[in-house]
Amino acid sequence: MQRQFIPASGLAILVLIVFANATLAAGKPPGQFGADRPAANQAAAHRVVAVKAGRLLDSKTGVVSTNQVVLIRGERIAEVGPAGQVTIPTDAEVIDLSGATVLPGLIDAHTHIFLTGESHGRYEEQLLKESWQYRTIEAVVNARKDLEAGFTTMRDLETEGAMYSDVDVKLAINRGLIPGPRLQVVTRALSTTGGYPLEGYSPEVTVPFGAQIVDTPEAARFAVREQIKYGADLIKVYGTHHFSFTPDGKLDAVPTFTLRELEAITDEAHREHVKVACHAYGGEGLHNCIDAGVDSIEHGLDLDDESIAKMVKKGIYFVPTLYVYEYEPEEDLEATGGKTSRARIHETSFRKALASGVKIAFGTDVGPFPHGTQAKEFEYMTRFGMTNAQALRAATVVASELMGWQDRIGSIEKGKYADLIAVSGDPLADITEVERVKFVMKGGEAVKNQMK
pLDDT band at residue 413 using 50, 70 and 90 as cut-offs: very high
Residues facing residue 51 across a β-bridge? 70, 95
Quote the pLDDT of residue 43: 62
Quote the pLDDT of residue 18: 47
Quote the pLDDT of residue 4: 41
pLDDT for 427 beyond 60: yes
Cα–Cα dist 31/69, whole Å? 34
Amino acid 242 reads H
Quote the pLDDT of residue 38: 54
pLDDT digits (tens, 9 = 90+) for 312-367: 999 999 999 999 999 989 999 999 999 999 999 999 999 999 999 999 999 999 99
pLDDT band at residue 295 using 50, 70 and 90 as cut-offs: very high
Taking residues 4-26, report their average pLDDT: 45
Q: Are strands 48-58 and 63-73 parallel, antiparallel or unpaired?
A: antiparallel
Taking residues 375-380, report their average pLDDT: 98
Taking residues 98-106, report their average pLDDT: 98
Quote the pLDDT of residue 3: 38
Taking residues 218-223, report their average pLDDT: 98
pLDDT for 91 beyond 80: yes
pLDDT digits (tens, 9 = 90+) for 121-178: 999 999 999 999 999 999 999 999 999 999 999 999 999 999 999 999 999 999 999 9
Percent of the chain with pLDDT over 70: 90
Q: pTM of the predicted model, to two decimals?
A: 0.92
Q: Are strands 445-449 and 439-442 parallel, antiparallel or unpaired?
A: antiparallel
pLDDT band at residue 45 using 50, 70 and 90 as cut-offs: confident
Nearest-5° angle of CA 32, CA 34, CA 35?
65
pLDDT band at residue 40 using 50, 70 and 90 as cut-offs: low
Q: Are 360 and 354 in contact (CB under 8 A)?
A: yes
Q: Are 276 and 236 in contact (CB under 8 A)?
A: yes
pLDDT digits (tens, 9 = 90+) for 244-279: 999 999 999 999 999 999 999 999 999 999 999 999
Quote the pLDDT of residue 44: 73
Other Cβ atoms closer than 10 A to 244: 11
Taking residues 16-45, report their average pLDDT: 49
In degrees and rounded to multiples of 5, residue 408 shows phi and psi of -130, -20
In degrees and rounded to multiples of 5, residue 41 shows phi and psi of -65, -40
Quote the pLDDT of residue 37: 54
pLDDT for 204 beyond 90: yes
pLDDT for 232 beyond 70: yes
pLDDT for 17 beyond 90: no
Quote the pLDDT of residue 42: 60
Query: Mean pLDDT for the chain?
Result: 92
pLDDT digits (tens, 9 = 90+) for 397-406: 999 999 999 9
CA atoms within 13 A on the CB side of 399: 36
Taking residues 302-309, report their average pLDDT: 98
Cα–Cα dist 124/130, whole Å? 10
Taking residues 32-41, report their average pLDDT: 49
